[in-house]
Amino acid sequence: MSIDHQHRILAHTRSVCPVCLKALAAVRRQEGEAVFLIKNCPEHGEFRTCIWRGSIPMPSWQRPKKPSAPLAPVVVTEKGCPFDCGLCSAHGQHTCTALLEITARCNLRCQLCFADAGSGAGQDPGLDRLAVLYDEIMRAGGPCNIQLSGGEPTMRDDLAEIIRLGRSKGFPFIQLNTNGIRLGSDPSYALSLQEAGLASVFLQFDGISDDVHEAIRGRALALIKEQAIVHCGVAGLGVVLVPTIIPGVNTDQIGDIVRYGLRFSPVVRGVHFQPVSYFGRYPSPPRDQDRITLPEIMEQLARQCEGEIRTDHFAPPACEHALCSFHANYLLQPDGSLRALGAGGQACCHPSDAGAPSPTAMEGRDKSVSFTARQWAAPVVCDAPENSAAPEDELDIFLRRAQTHRFSISGMAFQDAWNLDLERLQGCCIHVMSPAGKLIPFCAYNFTSSEGGSLYRMAEAP
Amino acid sequence: MSTFSFISPTTWRCAPCNGELQPEKVNVSYMGSIFTVELMVCPSCGFVLIPEDLALGKMHAVEQLLEDK
């Protein structure tokens, strides 16, 4: 008797039908080097979506944590996940980053947009309403990190006031999610935001050449992105490059993007890759070859940065569900080489560590909040020691360099209606503050049916 | 350039050998990173003295930087 390990069910979970959004049982099934999420809707049939592909086995990518329910659940669990978001008491992770969408307006028309921005943009929430939403984030999630998002947040001329308001409400780390057009066009703009209390810029950055920007964003943006980085550096803002990776469009620039970021270290603090997700109307399911999974991005990083980056440098996350992300930290050394910090996946809980107690989700969340704030902001350089004539040892040299030139490489896979895994959703730590004042897990807020229908975005009245 | 500034005469002695400690280059490693520093070491058994201010100061700072988030 033998077991075929090439085809086996790795886990039972739940998902939704991409057509009618009804909740369904689902499995993660290993088939050779790929893992598929498979679900069957009685009305709309079977859906199979590749969710993991490559040489890093999904069963090895674990980081167990004890779920930790919201401190102040806003919604009573009635219909079951994902229909009670707000958050409900069944959610397993606290807010690490709260997104505040301050406008639906945008100065780009990207085909792929989480926020469906620009189309029928309504009125922006006023400062009074944003004050209420900040308060609600603080009440529900505590002093988490804030990301101002949209739309394109720089469309608002009162952005500095919105940042100042957030800081006055007690949020220590505020990041701006932007395409960089205004930051690049106006040399004094970055400084005005920094003076208001902004720490970091999450810069949409899909590639190093204009053909990539034109393919994804419809405009040549390479020059303006670089100007944005330079202006942020002058203003003392940290920058994170955020590429959306699309098969056949920019997968061959994964290594180039890292090298580009390193050229601008320490202004650029890291690169955060996001595999493409499919939102909006899709009459037929996106093909598996139109997706790239996290292990494939890690493999491309190793292949395109050969000798500097290895797949075993990467570790699953302490905060969100293990299958949602990877990360590694490096020291950019004076000779331009990269030195991996930490022990990569070895540092994390492996199945062999089964005897050790799992940390709570709250512990992982706290680590992530402070790490993100430290790593993604501009470096804080301590004064030179009083006796600067004292010889430096290797620990001193390392500490001094690491203050400024630590560089993070990470990736996060968002979920759409086809690959949505409710176990992952319940471990989500990135929450959108909805106009109605509820914290909704990012993917629950953004996923749409194949007809473009949404559970939460535009579905609730403030 | 010296590799370590913490070598200094100490009243500590090696308990098993009762010997005086002497400065020596030592490799300290943590989570895959290795640093060569000079520390006070027992020449007979290799016992290494790590002063409290080093353990709670620079070493702790380095550990924090290396630790995974």
pLDDT digits (tens, 9 = 90+) for B22-48: 999 999 999 888 999 999 999 999 999
Contacting residues for A117 by C-beta, under 8 A, at least 6 apart = A104, A105, A106, A150, A151, A152
Residues of A with a Cβ under 8 Å from any B Cβ are: 315, 317-319, 327, 329, 339-344, 346-348, 367-368, 371-372, 390-396, 398-399, 402, 406
Q: Which residue numbers of B have CB closer than 8 Å to A's CBs? A: 1-6, 31-33, 35-38, 58-59, 61-62, 65-69
> What pLDDT band is residue A462 in, cutting at 50, 70 and 90?
very low
The confidence band for A99, taking pLDDT boundaries of 50, 70 and 90, is very high
Is A201 in contact with A240 (CB distance < 8 Å)? yes
Distances (CA, A) of A308 to A170, A275, A312: 40, 22, 12
What share of chain B in percent tops pLDDT 90?
A: 57
Cβ separation of B68 and A393 shorter than 8 Å? no
- Contacting residues for A409 by C-beta, under 8 A, at least 6 apart: A258, A270, A271, A273, A301, A309, A314, A327, A328, A329, A330
User: Which pLDDT band holds residue A110 (cuts at 50, 70, 90)?
Assistant: confident
A97 pLDDT above the threshold of 90: yes
| A229 and A281 belong to one structural domain | yes
Q: Do residues A34 and A106 both lie within one domain?
A: no
Interface pTM (ipTM) of the complex?
0.87
Over residues A26-51, mean pLDDT? 97
Q: In chain B, how many domains are there?
A: 1
Of A341, A391, A399, the CB nearest to B5: A391
Q: Collect all residues of chain B within an 8 Å Cβ-Cβ radius of residue A371.
A: 69
What is the predicted pLDDT for the residue at B1? 37
Is residue A46 domain-shared with residue A101, that is, in the same domain?
A: no
Cβ separation A343–B1 shorter than 8 A: no
Between residues A280 and B5, which one has the greater pLDDT?
A: A280
Asked if the structure places residue A1 within a domain, the reply is no
Kindly tell me if the per-residue pLDDT of B65 is higher than 80. Answer: yes
Say yes or no to pLDDT of A32 above 70.
Answer: yes
Nearest-by-Cβ selection for B68 from A315, A372, A406: A315
Same domain, A115 and A47: no
User: A229 with A312, same domain?
Assistant: yes
A160 shares its domain with A54: no
Please list, in sequence order, all residues whose beta carbon lies within 8 angstroms of the beta carbon of residue A219, skipping any fewer than 6 positions away.
A108, A213
- With CA atoms as reference, the chain A residue closest to B4 would be A393
Q: What is the pTM of this model?
A: 0.93
Query: What percentage of chain A reaches a pLDDT higher than 90?
Result: 81
Whether residues A263 and A347 fall in one domain: yes
| Closest alpha carbon to A241 in A200, A209, A277, A210 | A200
Q: Assign residue A407 the CATH number of its domain.
A: 3.20.20.70
Q: What number is the average pLDDT over the span A79-89?
A: 93
Search chain B and give the residue with CA nearest A345.
B68
For residue A428, the enclosing domain spans 97-378+394-446
A343/B68 CB distance under 8 A: yes
Is residue A84 domain-resident?
A: no
- Bridge partner residues of A149 (DSSP): A101
Q: Minimal CA–CA distance to A246: which of A180, A299, A296? A: A296
Report the percent of chain A where pLDDT is more than 70.
92
What one-letter code names the amino acid at A304? Q
CB contact under 8 A, A394 and B59: no
Write down the pLDDT at residue A312: 95
Amino acid at A428: C
Taking residues A90-94, what's their average pLDDT? 94
Nearest to A394 among B3, B32, B65 (CB): B3
Mean pLDDT of chain B: 86
Contact list in B for residue A368 (CB cut-off 8 A) is: 69
Please give, rounded to a whole number of angstroms, the shortest distance from the CA of B59 to a CA of chain A. Answer: 7
- Domain of B27? 1-69
pLDDT value at position A30?
Answer: 97
Is a pLDDT exceeding 90 seen at residue B64? no
Task: List the one residue out of A207, A232, A231 whose CA is nearest residue A219.
Answer: A207
pLDDT score of A335: 95
A276 and A406 assigned to the same domain = yes
Residue A66 within a domain: no
Nearest CA in chain B to A400: B62
Which chain B residues are within 8 Å of A318, Cβ to Cβ?
68-69
Do A209 and A106 fall into the same domain?
yes
- What is the total count of domains within chain A? 2
Cβ of A368 and B32 within 8 Å? no
pLDDT higher than threshold 60 for residue A193: yes
What pLDDT score was predicted for residue A459?
A: 64
Q: In terms of CA atoms, which chain B residue is nearest residue A405?
A: B65
Please compute the mean of the pLDDT values over residues A25-53 and round it to a whole number: 97
Which residue, chain included where needed, has tokens 């100065």? A107
Sign of CA dihedral A224, A163, A153, A448: positive
pLDDT of residue B2: 42
Burial of A200 (0-12, 13-18, 19+ CB in 10 A): buried
* Tens digits of residue pLDDT in A306-360: 989 999 999 999 999 999 999 999 999 999 999 999 877 655 544 445 567 889 9
- Based on the fold, state whether residues A106 and A45 are members of the same structural domain: no
- Band (A386; pLDDT cuts 50, 70, 90): low
Contacts of A394 in chain B (CB under 8 A): 3, 35-37
CB contact under 8 A, A391 and B33: no
CATH number at B3 reads: 3.10.20
The pLDDT mean for chain A works out to 92
Q: CB–CB of A368 and B65 under 8 A?
A: no
CA–CA min distance B40, chain A (Å): 15
Residue A125: helix, strand or coil by DSSP? Answer: coil
At A352 the pLDDT is 46
Q: Which residues of A are less than 8 Å from B6 in CB distance?
A: 393
Residue-wise pLDDT for A130-170, tens only, equals 999 999 999 998 999 999 999 999 999 999 999 999 999 99
Interface test mutation site (partner B, options A65, A349, A395, A404, max chain B beta carbons within 10 A): A395
The average pLDDT across A37-44 equals: 98
